[in-house]
């Protein structure tokens, strides 16, 4: 399973990349705003900065909600760096834009996916990735993991190339459950990625090893 980090924070991106296990980055307009990145030039420069840190796919989201606007924005984003993936919302205009980009060989990430029907439509349009929002489904008392499993089944039935990018991941169990289901990618915060390393028996065992080594080397 590929690990993407879901943030526009350059320090978190650098930290995750330094771990050596980072495969890519996803952002969205809310994450950019959270970092205080506003205005078209600043936003484009921020994507350039992210692409300098990580050698892997970087999702950059369009703001337009109609086909021509999405195409204009998406082409500008794609021209920034070969690793840019144009992130497009799961609306009918977005499906047309995904089809357009797919025909041109430009990679896309269909975002805001909350149902199997949406995932099917995006795959038929040729999306490179689809982003089902796991945590946001859990937030409304619907099991987000069930959706990931349903999409996995559908994509495997027809051998769709579209990759399932589990998004809105909130904690390490989401990551483990996504790996069990066979999600191609997960994107989550640095905290969830780092938390995978935690185990009290590891800490205890290491403490004991170091204490025993110190005793023997007095």
- Mapped onto helix, strand or coil, the DSSP state of residue 112 is strand
Residue 132: phi and psi, rounded to 5, are -75, 135
- Whichever of 78 and 169 has its CB closer to ligand G3P, that residue is 169
Residue whose pair of structure tokens reads 């999405």 in the numeric block? 70
Closest to ligand G3P by CB, 133 or 160? 133
The catalytic position among 11, 34, 76, 87 is 87
The distance of closest approach from Cβ of residue 212 to ligand G3P in the complex, given in angstroms and rounded to an integer, is: 43
Quote the DSSP letter at residue 107.
-
* Shortest spacing between CB 23 and ligand G3P, in angstroms: 15
- The DSSP element (H or E) to which 165 belongs, if any, is strand 163-166
Measured from the CB atom, is 84 or 167 closer to ligand G3P? Answer: 167
Long-range contacts of 35-42 (CB under 8 A, 24+ apart): 35/8, 35/9, 35/10, 37/8
- 211-215 contacts, C-beta under 8 A, 24 or more apart: none
Shortest reach from residue 87's CB to ligand G3P, in Å = 8
Looking at the Cβ atoms of 28 and 162, the one nearer to ligand G3P is 28
Least distance from C-beta 20 to ligand G3P, angstroms?
22
Q: Which residues bind ligand G3P (CB under 6 A)?
A: 6, 26, 28, 133, 135-136, 167-168, 187
Q: Calculate Rg over the CA atoms of the chain.
A: 19
**For the chain, how many residues are written?**
218
Tokens (6 digits) for 78: 């794609």
Partner residues linked to 108 by β-bridges: 86
- Active-site residue 87, yes or no? yes
Q: Annotated catalytic sites, by residue? A: 87
């Amino acid at each position: 399973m590929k690990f993407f980090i879901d943030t526009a924070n350059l320090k978190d991106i650098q930290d995750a990349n330094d771990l050596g296990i980072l495969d890519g980055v996803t952002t969205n307009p809310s994450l950019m705003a959270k970092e205080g990145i506003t205005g078209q030039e600043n936003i484009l420069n921020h994507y350039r900065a992210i692409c300098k840190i990580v050698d892997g796919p970087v999702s950059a989201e369009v703001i337009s909600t109609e086909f021509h606007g999405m195409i204009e924005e998406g082409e500008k984003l794609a021209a920034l760096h070969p690793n840019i993936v144009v992130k497009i919302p799961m609306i009918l205009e977005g499906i047309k834009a995904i089809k357009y980009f797919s025909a041109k060989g430009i990679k896309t990430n269909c975002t805001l996916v909350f149902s199997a029907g949406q995932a099917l439509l995006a795959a038929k349009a040729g999306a490179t990735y689809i982003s089902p929002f796991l945590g946001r489904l859990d937030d409304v008392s619907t099991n987000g993991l069930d959706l990931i499993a349903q999409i996995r089944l559908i994509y495997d039935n027809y051998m769709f190339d579209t990759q399932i990018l589990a998004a809105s991941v909130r904690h390490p169990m989401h990551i483990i459950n996504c790996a069990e289901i066979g999600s191609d990618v997960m994107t989550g915060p640095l905290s969830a990625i780092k938390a995978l390393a935690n185990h009290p028996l590891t800490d205890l065992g290491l403490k004991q090893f170091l204490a025993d080594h110190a005793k023997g080397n007095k």
